[in-house]
Chains A and B, each alone.
Chain A
C-alpha cells in the first residue's frame, strides 16, 4: 500500500512538474532556440526581464497592478467581513454572495461585463480601471480568508475586552485586528499572486494600453519564441511558491484551505 501510494504521488508529481522542468530547462539555454535538454548555460534571459525595457515595464506594470488591486480587494473585504461578523443582518449576505460571484463564474463573464462598463462610461483603457477590475475580481480571496478568520475568533475574548472597558473601536484595534492579521495577510497574498498571473480581465480592460507580463507573453508568443518568457514563467512560479510558502510558515495553511483543526 505504501509503495503504491508513493508511486501514485510520484506520477502525479511528475505530471505537475514536467512542463515546469522543461520550461526551466529552456530558460537557461545559451542561444535563443527552443531546445531541451538545454544547450549551454546562461542566465541572460533572466537578466532580460530586468534590463530589456519592454519586459521590465511589463514586470513593473504587473507588480503595480497586483499590489494595488490586492489592497483594494482587502479594503472592500475587511469592512464587509467585519460587518457580517459583528451584526445580525441576513440580508447583507447578498454582498457576500456578490463578492464570491466573480470568482465562481467563468472569468470571461466578469471580463466582458467590465469591458462593456468601462467602454460605456468612457474610461476604457485607463490604467486605473484595471486596478478596480482586479480588485473586484479578486475580492473573493480576502473575503473568504477573513470570514474564516472572524469565525475563528472566540467571542468571549471580545466580551472580556468589553467588560474591561473597551468599546467597539478599541476592541477592533486591540483584539480583532491582531487576531485576524494572519488572515488579512494571507488574503492579500492570494489576491496579489493571482492578480500577477491574471490574463483575461486585464487584457479585456487595458489590453491595448497597458502590458502586464501575462499579456506581454501572450503577445510575444504570436511573434515567435523567446527564452525570456520561460524565464518569466519560472520567476512567477518562484514568487508564488515563496509567497504561499511564507503563508504556510506564518499561518495555518491546511486550516486556511478548509481543514478544521490546526493539529493533525
Chain B
C-alpha cells in the first residue's frame, strides 16, 4: 500500500489524551492540512508522523512499511519547524546541504544541489550568507529548501508561516502550493489558520480535542461541514436550532422551512447557514420574522444582525445588493435548503 496511513493512532501524556484514535489515509502526492485550534492535537500528530514523539497506540505506515517505531533519522523526511530551526552556526548553503553532508555526499554534488535549491526558492547566490542576516521570508524559504534537499518521501511543515506578516504569509501560501504541485511531493501542513488551509490543501483535516472531526476537500469542509464544530470553526456561520413542530415537520425559529428535515431518528438538530446564504425579505408570507439590531458596513460587505426567536442571525450582502434596512425594523428571513446543512451534533 502506498502513501501514508495512520491507523488508530493514540498519544497519551500521563492521563491527558492528546491524540485519540486517529485514522487517516494520505495518498501519494497530495497536500493535506491539519487544521484546528491550539491544543487540538495536530502538532502532536505531526510529531508522531516525524517520529519525534512515539504513539502510545496504533500504527503509522509509509509506502507500505510500518514506521511506527522507526527512529526519526531513518525516516527520510523533510520537516519545517515552527521556529524554522535553522542552524545558527552554519551558513545558508551549509544549512541546506546538512542532510547531504551527514550522508557523506561528495562536496561538488552538494554544491550543485545547493545551487539548484537556491534557484528554486529564488535566492540564488545566498549560499555563503549567515542565516542571522536573512529576513523572515528568506529564512522561511531556506528552511523549506533545507527540508527538500534529499527529495524526501514526505514533506512536513509545522505552522510554517506563523512568523510572517499577513501579506507575506498569503504570498508564501500560494508559492508553497505551487512548489508542492511542481514536485508532486506528499505534504502535510499543521496550521490554525483556515485561510491557509483552504488556499493550499487538497484535503483539510479538521481536528478538535485530539480527534479528527472531518477530513475532506476545502470546498466540502465549507459547504458540507460534518458537525457544528467544523461549521463554526471554518468561516462564519449561523447555527440555528431545528425542532419538530406539532405535525412533526422541521421548524426553525418558529417557522417551518420547506425542504429541511430533521436527521432520521433525531429529536432535534442544528442548522448551519452561512451568512451570505441568509436572505432578508419583507416580514410575513411564511418568512421567519425578526428585528434588525445592528448594521455594519465593512466596505466590501454589509453585515446585518437580526434578532429572531431569541437567536442572533447574521446576514451578509455585497454592496451591490445593499438591503434597505435600519435598526429596529421588522424583517423576514428566508433560508435556502440547498445551501443549508442540518447537523446532528
Q: For B76, list chain A residues within 8 Å (CB).
A: 165
Most B CB contacts (10 A, CB to CB) among A159, A165, A167, A170 go to: A165
Instruction: Say whether B126 faces chain A, with CB atoms less than 8 Å apart.
Output: no
A157 & B72 in contact (Cβ 8 Å cutoff): no
The residue from B85, B87, B150 contacting A159, defined by CB atoms under 8 A apart: B85
Chain A, 146-169, CB within 8 A of any chain B CB: 154, 156-157, 159-167
Taken together as a complex, chains A and B put the C-alpha atoms of A64 and B336 apart, in Å, by: 90
Residue of B nearest to A155 (CB): B85
What are the interface flags for B66-95 relative to A under an 8 Å C-beta threshold, 1 for contact and 0 otherwise?
A: 000001111111110111010111000000
Most A CB contacts (10 A, CB to CB) among B50, B102, B146, B156 go to: B102
B85 & A154 in contact (Cβ 8 Å cutoff): yes
Q: How far is the CB of B151 from chain A (nearest CB, A)?
A: 12
Q: How far is the CB of A88 from chain B (nearest CB, A)?
A: 13
Chain A, 77-136, CB within 8 A of any chain B CB: none
Residue of A nearest to B79 (CB): A163
The residue from A163, A165, A170, A175 contacting B87, defined by CB atoms under 8 A apart: A175
Q: For B82, list chain A residues within 8 Å (CB).
A: 156
Instruction: Say whether A40 faces chain B, with CB atoms less than 8 Å apart.
Output: no
Q: For B99, list chain A residues within 8 Å (CB).
A: 164-165
Does more than half of chain B's interface fall in helix, strand or loop, or is it mixed? loop
Most A CB contacts (10 A, CB to CB) among B52, B71, B88, B147 go to: B52
A174 and B85 in contact, given A162-B52, A163-B50, A167-B71 (Cβ under 8 angstroms): no
A164 and B98 in contact, given A159-B52, A178-B89, A179-B89 (Cβ under 8 angstroms): yes
A160 & B81 in contact (Cβ 8 Å cutoff): yes
Taken together as a complex, chains A and B put the C-alpha atoms of A161 and B88 apart, in Å, by: 13
What are the interface flags for B41-83 relative to A under an 8 Å C-beta threshold, 1 for contact and 0 otherwise?
A: 0000000001110000000000000000001111111110111
Taken together as a complex, chains A and B put the C-alpha atoms of A167 and B72 apart, in Å, by: 8
Instruction: Say whether B103 faces chain A, with CB atoms less than 8 Å apart.
Output: yes
B78 & A163 in contact (Cβ 8 Å cutoff): yes
Most A CB contacts (10 A, CB to CB) among B75, B79, B82 go to: B79
Q: For B147, list chain A residues within 8 Å (CB).
A: 163-164
A166 and B83 in contact, given A159-B52, A174-B102 (Cβ under 8 angstroms): no
The residue from A154, A160, A166, A175 contacting B79, defined by CB atoms under 8 A apart: A160
A164 & B83 in contact (Cβ 8 Å cutoff): no
Taken together as a complex, chains A and B put the C-alpha atoms of A56 and B259 apart, in Å, by: 104
A157 & B102 in contact (Cβ 8 Å cutoff): no
A165 & B81 in contact (Cβ 8 Å cutoff): no
| Chain B count of residues within 8 A CB distance of the other chain | 29
Q: How far is the CB of A16 from chain B (nearest CB, A)?
A: 37
The residue from A154, A163, A165, A170 contacting B83, defined by CB atoms under 8 A apart: A154
Most B CB contacts (10 A, CB to CB) among A160, A163, A165 go to: A163
B150 & A165 in contact (Cβ 8 Å cutoff): yes
Residue of A nearest to B158 (CB): A156
Chain B, 124-167, CB within 8 A of any chain A CB: 146-147, 149-150, 156
Residue of B nearest to A158 (CB): B85
A166 and B89 in contact, given A156-B81, A160-B79, A160-B81 (Cβ under 8 angstroms): no
A156 & B83 in contact (Cβ 8 Å cutoff): yes
Q: For B77, list chain A residues within 8 Å (CB).
A: 163-164
Q: How far is the CB of B221 from chain A (nearest CB, A)?
A: 29
Taken together as a complex, chains A and B put the C-alpha atoms of A76 and B51 apart, in Å, by: 32
Residue of B nearest to A164 (CB): B99
Q: For B73, list chain A residues within 8 Å (CB).
A: 162-167, 170
Q: For A167, list chain B residues within 8 Å (CB).
A: 71, 73
The residue from A157, A165, A166 contacting B85, defined by CB atoms under 8 A apart: A157
Taken together as a complex, chains A and B put the C-alpha atoms of A174 and B71 apart, in Å, by: 18
The residue from A156, A160, A163, A166 contacting B75, defined by CB atoms under 8 A apart: A163
Residue of A nearest to B75 (CB): A163
What are the interface flags for A4-47 relative to B under an 8 Å C-beta threshold, 1 for contact and 0 otherwise?
A: 00000000000000000000000000000000000000000000
Q: For A154, list chain B residues within 8 Å (CB).
A: 83, 85
For this complex, 28 residue pairs linking A to B, each with C-beta atoms less than 8 Å apart, are A156-B83, A156-B85, A157-B85, A159-B52, A159-B72, A159-B79, A160-B81, A160-B85, A161-B87, A161-B102, A162-B51, A163-B50, A163-B52, A163-B77, A163-B78, A163-B79, A164-B78, A164-B98, A164-B102, A164-B146, A166-B73, A167-B71, A174-B98, A174-B102, A175-B87, A178-B89, A179-B88, A179-B89
Residues of B within 8 A of A (CB): 50-52, 71-79, 81-83, 85, 87-89, 98-99, 101-103, 146-147, 149-150, 156
Q: Which 7 pairs of residues, A with B, have the shortest CB-CB distance?
A: A164-B99, A160-B85, A162-B72, A163-B79, A156-B85, A178-B89, A156-B81
Known: A165-B102, A167-B73. 6 other contacts (CB 8 A): A159-B72, A160-B87, A163-B72, A163-B75, A163-B147, A166-B102
